[in-house]
A and B are shown apart, each in its own frame.
Chain A
Amino acid sequence: MKIDRRSFLSFVIGGAAGTAFTPLPWKLTDDSAIWTQMWPWTPVPDYGEVSYVNSTCTLCPGGCGITVRKIEERVVKIEGLSGHPVNDGGLCLLGLSGAQLLYGPRRVKTPLKKVNGKFRRISWDEAIGELATKLADLRAKGGSHKVAFIAASDQGTLPELINRFLTVYGSPNFIRTPSILDSYELTLDLMHGVQALPGFDIENTDFVLSFGSGLLDGWGSPVHMFRANSSWRDRKSTVVQIEPRLSNTAAKSDKWIPIKPGTEGALALGLAHVIIKESLYKKDFVHNYTIGFEKWRRPVVDGFSPDIVAKITDVDQTTITDLARKFARASKPLAVCGRGRGTTPGSLKEFMAVHALNALVGNLNMAGGLWTIPDADYIDWPELEMDDTASTGMQKGRIDGAGSQNYPHARYLFNRLSEVINSASSPPIDVLGVVGSNPVYTAPDTLSTKEAFEKIPLVVSFSSYMDETAEMADLILPNHIYLERYEDVPVISGIKYPLIGLAKPVIDPQFNTKHTGDVIILLAQALGGFIANAFPWESYEACLEETLGDKWETLLQQGFWLNVSFSPPSWAKAFETASGKFEFVNDQIDALPRFSSLKPEGKEASFPLVLIPYDSMRLQREFIGNPPFVIKTVEDTVLKANDVLVEISPDTARPLGLKEGGYAELSTPKGSARVKVHIYDGIKPGLVAIPAGLGHTAYSKYLAGKGVNINSLIGPVEDPASGHDAAWGIRAKLSKA
Chain B
Amino acid sequence: MSTLDDQANQAVNAETSEAEETAFQVNDQRKGSGGYIILFFILGFVASLIVGWVIFPKLLYSQRKQPVEFNHALHNGEVDEACESCHFFREDGSYSGVPKLAQCIDCHEEVQGESEAEAKFVSEYVQKNREVPWLVYSRQPPCVFFSHAAHVKKAGMECVECHGPIGESESLKPYEQNRITGYSRDIWGANIAGLKKNAWDRMKMDDCVECHRTNNVNQGSVQTHKGGCFVCHH
Chain A interface residues (CB < 8 Å from chain B): 1-2, 4, 6-8, 10-19, 21-24, 26-28, 30-32, 34-35, 37-38, 40, 44, 47, 49-50
Cα–Cα, bound, A691→B94 (Å): 46
Q: A35 and B44 in contact (CB under 8 A), knowing A19-B52, A22-B56, A23-B192? A: no
Contact A27 B192, beta carbon cutoff 8 Å: yes
Closest to B195 in A: A23
B37 within 8 A of A: yes
Cβ contacts under 8 Å, B52 to chain A: 18-19, 21-24
Chain A interface, DSSP helix/strand/loop, else mixed: helix
Of the 9-residue stretches B11-19, B75-83, B108-116, B174-182, which lies at the interface with chain A?
A: B174-182
Contact A14 B181, beta carbon cutoff 8 Å: no
Q: A22 and B142 in contact (CB under 8 A), knowing A10-B44, A14-B48? A: no
Instruction: Give residues of chain B (190-207) contacting chain A, Cβ–Cβ below 8 Å.
Output: 192-194
Determine which of B46, B49, B181, B193 lies in contact with A38 in the assembled complex, contact meaning CB atoms within 8 Å. Answer: B181
Cα–Cα, bound, A642→B65 (Å): 50
Determine which of A13, A22, A34, A35 lies in contact with B41 in the assembled complex, contact meaning CB atoms within 8 Å. Answer: A13
Cβ contacts under 8 Å, B92 to chain A: 50
14 of the cross-chain contacts (CB-CB < 8 Å) are A6-B33, A7-B33, A8-B40, A10-B41, A11-B41, A13-B41, A14-B46, A14-B47, A19-B51, A23-B194, A26-B194, A38-B141, A38-B142, A38-B143
B53 within 8 A of A: yes
B121 within 8 A of A: no
Cβ contacts under 8 Å, A11 to chain B: 40-41, 43-44, 47
Cβ contacts under 8 Å, B48 to chain A: 14-19, 22
Cβ contacts under 8 Å, B71 to chain A: none
Cβ contacts under 8 Å, B56 to chain A: 22-24, 27
Q: A49 and B96 in contact (CB under 8 A), knowing A10-B37, A15-B47, A23-B193? A: yes
Q: A31 and B94 in contact (CB under 8 A), knowing A11-B40, A22-B53, A23-B194? A: no
Contact A14 B44, beta carbon cutoff 8 Å: yes
CB proximity of B127 to chain A, nearest CB, Å: 20
Cβ contacts under 8 Å, B143 to chain A: 37-38
Contact B188 A27, beta carbon cutoff 8 Å: yes
The 5 closest A-B pairs by CB, nearest first: A22-B52, A14-B44, A18-B48, A15-B44, A14-B41
Cα–Cα, bound, A250→B38 (Å): 83
Contact A31 B178, beta carbon cutoff 8 Å: yes
Cα–Cα, bound, A574→B17 (Å): 120
CB proximity of A15 to chain B, nearest CB, Å: 4
Contact B40 A7, beta carbon cutoff 8 Å: yes
Cβ contacts under 8 Å, A44 to chain B: 142
B164 within 8 A of A: no
Cα–Cα, bound, A23→B192 (Å): 7
Contact A14 B141, beta carbon cutoff 8 Å: no
Contact A21 B40, beta carbon cutoff 8 Å: no
Count chain A CB atoms within 10 A of each CB in B41, B46, B141, B194 and give the residue with the most: B41
Cα–Cα, bound, A194→B126 (Å): 61
Contact A14 B43, beta carbon cutoff 8 Å: yes
Contact A49 B90, beta carbon cutoff 8 Å: yes
Closest to A36 in B: B181
Closest to A30 in B: B188
CB proximity of B75 to chain A, nearest CB, Å: 21
Determine which of A16, A24, A35 lies in contact with B181 in the assembled complex, contact meaning CB atoms within 8 Å. Answer: A35
Contact B90 A18, beta carbon cutoff 8 Å: no
Closest to B178 in A: A31
Cα–Cα, bound, A31→B56 (Å): 13
Q: A50 and B33 in contact (CB under 8 A), knowing A10-B41, A11-B40? A: no
